[in-house]
């Protein structure tokens, strides 16, 4: 936390929190050891992440150094030393990292070990989702998180505007195009990452092959995928409910029709299906196979996930090219069939909106998305959910205002007062309260019942804050209470005929009960105006507690009486004569009430 705003937790915590992105572990590993391993860091991540991270980091190092010839940023020994600093988390386990920071992990779906991180720094709370999936699939469940009181939600927005078709429809279409390709003797290349989509689609194809009794081989590139499958077999508790339920009889990751692929099989005759990494055909084995299979019209490349702009996968998704230039001397003729279908483990726009609606944070920050689409999603969140949303650019700092709370003691009298409803006057006029000419009377406003208690915050000799009631403070200080009343005066115009007819009907006003009263006294504006107001209040508002008096009317804490202030200097209004004007004063404690009483 910094000032009154929440900033990226990675930049301010000594312990780093990794929610699954193994590619991002690369930068963290480099940061830890950039000074020869002298940086004091601890990592908090989940048990599957701790198990799989060394494999992913070493695979990345080999690709970058041994295959691409780039400068080595860290060694295998650095990876091993880095893993020694990792502290594993259980799901929903609350960890007090230090006196100010508390963290908790929630299941995120997406890939094995993915988690959303809840962090509480002082009294400020936030959730950083990382990548997550709100829809269950074959090998993993949907993200699970409880309702939390949050100041901030930081959520990915990879598919900020995409609404996916049903899972059944996507699986059916995928199986249909694969089956069609192998039926005519073609080869199917499925570029995918070793962790997540590879297991999901292997489960789908293995089940389909079993039901259809197909004999065409299904391969996955050896090495990393084999090791990842091994951990999937061991970490069953992190998988989908269906896999957990059938685990006692059969481990779903013991595939019947899927086997490792050898490089010698690339140009072997006959149909086959191959899962090869990486998923965006940005290099590695998937690019090597693509070079060989793309020129054939009977082959198929199906892209099951998101591809970053600039990769071959993205070029194929953007429209079928006939030629792809790798560099100035190398190009690939593309004649094969291209099929795109979203089996991405990222949640779609509906899932993002569902999560934001569930958590209802005070603020939302969108990350990990494309700027134009993030802007559209930002607008939806602000318009449909009424939540302030931000979509900062890379390296842009966002300051989020948060509510501050103070821990205090409270007296028994104050706590007791908290259980009593306090009625508040609404700011909106009472609808339907009109006089005979359908003019709104703003005399009484809607009453709202809010559980609020008023108290006074004091600091005693022990320097502890305490809330006391007003009368307790007066007693403690030994001082007398002084009340101040406020009055509002306004001119009231009463039709002379209404005034006269009322007096003739009633004989005289309450104040003129003796027989010696003169006609001039009976025509007193003070008397008749109060009587007319009394009659209207009783007839229109059912005022059972209204008390009449020759000099004033009283309704609970509101007292209405004639005012001695002279309004005759005011401009003539509504064609009324000065003789028809009467002044009314309303005293309502600390309330300011306006009265319009007109014919």
The CATH number covering residue 202 comes to 3.40.50.10890
Query: What pLDDT score was predicted for residue 190?
Result: 93
Tokens 């391969």 locate to 219
Return the CATH number at 372.
Answer: 3.60.15.10
Our count of domains for the chain comes to 4
In a domain, 445, yes or no: no
Tokens 């027989």 locate to 515
d(C-alpha 436, C-alpha 598), whole Å = 9
Query: What pLDDT score was predicted for residue 131?
Result: 92
Any idea of the CA torsion for 286, 291, 293, 297, to the nearest 10 degrees?
Answer: 130
pLDDT tens, position by position, for the chain (599 residues)?
333 333 333 332 334 444 444 455 555 565 555 555 444 556 666 788 888 888 878 877 777 776 666 777 788 888 888 888 888 888 899 999 888 899 999 999 888 888 999 999 988 999 999 999 999 988 899 999 999 989 999 999 999 999 888 888 889 999 999 999 999 999 999 998 877 788 889 999 999 999 999 999 999 886 666 777 788 888 888 888 888 888 888 888 888 999 888 888 998 999 999 998 888 888 888 899 999 999 999 999 998 877 888 888 888 888 778 888 887 788 889 999 999 877 888 899 999 999 999 999 999 999 999 999 999 999 999 999 999 999 999 999 999 887 766 778 888 888 887 776 454 444 444 333 333 333 333 333 444 445 567 788 888 777 788 888 888 888 877 777 776 666 555 555 555 555 555 555 554 443 333 334 433 444 455 556 667 777 766 665 555 566 666 666 666 556 666 655 544 434 444 444 444 444 454 444 433 344 444 33
Judgement on whether residues 469 and 376 belong to the same structural domain of the protein: no
In a domain, 106, yes or no: yes
CB 571 within 8 A of CB 474: no
Query: What pLDDT score was predicted for residue 208?
Result: 96
Judgement on whether residues 154 and 89 belong to the same structural domain of the protein: yes
Judgement on whether residues 295 and 147 belong to the same structural domain of the protein: no
CB 25 within 8 A of CB 60: no
In a domain, 442, yes or no: no
In a domain, 440, yes or no: no
Which uninterrupted H or E stretch holds 12? none
Nearest to 262, CA basis, from 195, 229, 217, 298: 217
Which uninterrupted H or E stretch holds 340? strand 337-340
Which residues are paired to 258 by β-bridges?
218
Residue 337 CA to its chain's centroid (Å): 41
CB 33 within 8 A of CB 74: yes
Judgement on whether residues 333 and 366 belong to the same structural domain of the protein: no
Query: What pLDDT score was predicted for residue 474?
Result: 80
Query: What pLDDT score was predicted for residue 223?
Result: 65
Judgement on whether residues 244 and 352 belong to the same structural domain of the protein: no
Determine how β-strand 558-562 pairs with β-strand 581-587: antiparallel
CB 191 within 8 A of CB 276: yes
Judgement on whether residues 40 and 181 belong to the same structural domain of the protein: no
Determine how β-strand 258-261 pairs with β-strand 218-221: parallel
Query: What pLDDT score was predicted for residue 31?
Result: 59
CB 425 within 8 A of CB 532: no
Residue 520 CA to its chain's centroid (Å): 72
d(C-alpha 22, C-alpha 199), whole Å = 17
Query: What pLDDT score was predicted for residue 327?
Result: 79
Judgement on whether residues 153 and 203 belong to the same structural domain of the protein: no
Structural domain including 49 reads 2-163+347-390
CB 166 within 8 A of CB 261: no
Interval 429-452: pLDDT, tens: 433 333 333 333 333 344 444 556
Contacts 24+ apart (CB under 8 A), 172-180: 173/341, 174/201, 174/204, 174/302, 174/304, 174/341, 174/343, 175/204, 175/205, 175/208, 177/300, 177/302, 177/337, 177/339, 178/205, 178/273, 178/300, 178/302, 179/208, 179/212, 179/214
* Residue 513 CB coordination number (10 Å): 10
Out of 19, 21, 46, 156, the active site residue is 156
Judgement on whether residues 135 and 201 belong to the same structural domain of the protein: no
Nearest to 210, CA basis, from 138, 173, 258, 271: 258
Buried b (16+ CB within 10 A) or exposed e, 146-183: eebebbbbbbbbbbbbbebeeeeeebeebbeebbebbe
Strand order in the sheet with 42-46: 15-17, 42-46, 86-89
Q: How far is CA 22 from CA 57, 58, 99, 132, 347, in A?
A: 7, 11, 29, 14, 19
Residue 317 CA to its chain's centroid (Å): 31
In a domain, 463, yes or no: yes
d(C-alpha 224, C-alpha 238), whole Å = 20
Determine how β-strand 581-587 pairs with β-strand 487-493: antiparallel
d(C-alpha 238, C-alpha 134), whole Å = 15
Encoding tokens for residue 306?
Answer: 């998101």
In a domain, 429, yes or no: no
Active site residue 156: yes
Degrees to nearest 5, angle at CA 512 with 510 and 517: 165
Judgement on whether residues 182 and 304 belong to the same structural domain of the protein: yes
In a domain, 125, yes or no: yes
Which residues are paired to 2 by β-bridges?
5
In a domain, 243, yes or no: yes
Which residues are paired to 410 by β-bridges?
467
d(C-alpha 86, C-alpha 16), whole Å = 9
Judgement on whether residues 264 and 173 belong to the same structural domain of the protein: yes
Judgement on whether residues 183 and 307 belong to the same structural domain of the protein: yes
Judgement on whether residues 374 and 296 belong to the same structural domain of the protein: no
């Amino acid at each position: 936390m910094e000032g009154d705003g929440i900033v990226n937790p990675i930049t301010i915590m000594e312990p780093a929190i990794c929610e699954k992105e193994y590619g991002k572990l690369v930068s963290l590993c480099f940061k830890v050891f950039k000074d020869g391993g002298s940086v004091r860091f601890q990592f908090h991540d989940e048990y599957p992440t701790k198990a799989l991270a060394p494999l992913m980091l070493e695979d990345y190092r080999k690709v970058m150094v041994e295959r691409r010839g780039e400068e080595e940023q860290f060694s295998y020994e650095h990876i091993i030393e880095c893993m020694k600093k990792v502290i594993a988390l259980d799901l929903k386990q609350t960890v007090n990292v230090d006196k100010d920071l508390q963290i908790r992990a929630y299941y995120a779906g997406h890939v094995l070990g993915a988690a959303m991180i809840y962090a509480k720094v002082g009294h400020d709370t936030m959730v950083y989702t990382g990548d997550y999936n709100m829809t269950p699939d074959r090998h993993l469940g949907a993200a699970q998180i409880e309702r939390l009181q949050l100041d901030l939600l930081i959520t990915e927005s990879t598919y900020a505007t995409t609404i996916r078709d049903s899972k059944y429809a996507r699986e059916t279409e995928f199986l249909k195009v694969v089956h069609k390709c192998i039926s005519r003797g073609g080869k199917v290349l499925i570029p995918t990452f070793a962790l997540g989509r590879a297991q999901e689609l292997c489960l789908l194809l293995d089940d389909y092959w079993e039901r259809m009794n197909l004999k065409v081989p299904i391969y996955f590139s050896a090495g990393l995928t084999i090791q990842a499958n091994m951990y999937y077999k061991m970490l069953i508790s992190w998988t989908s409910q269906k896999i957990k339920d059938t685990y006692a009889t059969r481990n779903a990751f013991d595939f019947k029709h899927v086997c490792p692929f050898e490089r010698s099989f690339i140009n072997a005759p006959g149909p086959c299906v191959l899962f090869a990494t990486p998923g965006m055909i940005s290099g590695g084995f998937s690019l090597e196979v693509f070079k060989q299979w793309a020129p054939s019209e009977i082959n198929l490349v199906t892209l099951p996930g998101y591809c970053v702009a600039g990769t071959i996968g993205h070029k194929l998704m953007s429209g079928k090219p006939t030629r792809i230039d790798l560099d100035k001397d190398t190009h690939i003729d593309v004649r094969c069939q291209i099929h795109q279908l979203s089996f991405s483990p990222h949640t779609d726009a509906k899932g993002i909106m569902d999560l934001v609606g569930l958590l209802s944070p005070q603020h939302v920050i969108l990350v990990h998305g494309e700027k134009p689409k993030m802007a559209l999603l930002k607008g939806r969140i602000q318009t449909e959910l009424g939540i302030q949303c931000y979509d900062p650019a890379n390296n842009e700092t966002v300051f989020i205002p948060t509510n501050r709370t103070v821990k205090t003691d409270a007296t028994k009298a104050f706590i007791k007062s908290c259980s009593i409803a306090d009625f508040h006057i609404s700011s909106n006029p009472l609808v339907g309260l009109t006089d005979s000419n359908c003019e709104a009377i703003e005399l009484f406003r809607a009453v709202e019942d809010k559980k609020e208690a008023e108290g006074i915050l004091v600091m005693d000799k022990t320097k502890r804050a305490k809330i006391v009631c007003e009368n307790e403070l007066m007693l403690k200080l030994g001082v007398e209470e002084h009340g101040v009343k406020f009055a509002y005066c306004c001119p009231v115009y009463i039709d002379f005929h209404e005034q006269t007819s009322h007096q003739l009907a009633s004989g005289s006003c309450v104040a003129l009960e003796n027989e010696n009263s003169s006609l001039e006294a009976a025509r007193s504006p003070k008397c008749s105006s109060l009587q007319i107001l009394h009659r209207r209040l009783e007839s229109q508002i059912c005022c059972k507690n209204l008390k009449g008096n020759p000099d004033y009317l009283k309704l609970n804490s509101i007292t209405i009486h004639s005012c001695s202030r002279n309004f005759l200097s005011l401009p003539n209004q509504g064609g009324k004569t000065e003789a028809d004007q009467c002044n009314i004063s309303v005293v309502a404690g600390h309330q300011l009430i306006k009265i319009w009483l007109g014919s």
